[in-house]
Amino acid sequence: MFLLDTCALIWFTLDRNQIPKRTRALLVAGDTPLAVSAITGFEIAMLVRKGRLRLPQATTEWLTRVLEEYVIDSLPLSLSVMVAAAELPAIHADPCDRMIIATAKAQHLTLVTADRVMPTYPGVKVVW
């Protein structure tokens, strides 16, 4: 399963040209299921609230439609993932990214991201 970080989800659904062709091909092939962490909903809502992202409809409606249309699972933030995020080495300061990393590690998922810091965490498989 691929775990899309927040930017990967946004670009995959709104502007695929931001994603390298090789990665796009992996995502649309349908061979590997796709997922996002629940924290991605928070990040997207905050981007909209701050005016840094415009969506064609209300955030909740857009996320619901996108997850259904692209067959993307939403993974919850469990207590163990939250603790694991706090216990990660202090490489990344963004708490949302730390939760995404912890989710990928806990569920043995391949992370899809353009972030250059996330791949530096031990035990995280990354595609981009």
Question: Can you give the residue range of the structural domain that contains 47?
Answer: 2-127
Give 15-59 pLDDT, tens digit per residue. Answer: 999 999 999 999 998 889 999 999 999 999 999 999 999 999 999
**Per the structure, how many domains does the chain have?**
1
Distance between CA atoms of 45 and 7, rounded to whole angstroms? 13
For residue 32, give the CATH number of its domain: 3.40.50.1010
* 3, 12, 72 from 55: Cα distances, Å: 21, 14, 18
22-26, 90-94, 102-106, 122-126 — which is least confidently predicted?
90-94
What is the reported pLDDT for 92? 81
Burial label for 7, CB within 10 Å (0-12, 13-18, 19+), is middle
pLDDT for 110 beyond 90: yes
What SS3 state is found at 113? coil
User: What's the whole-model pTM score?
Assistant: 0.94
What is the reported pLDDT for 59? 97
DSSP secondary structure of 2-51 = EEE-HHHHHHHHH-GGGS-HHHHHHHHH-SS-EEEETHHHHHHHHHHHTT
What is the reported pLDDT for 54? 96
Reported as a pLDDT band with limits 50, 70 and 90, residue 66 is: very high
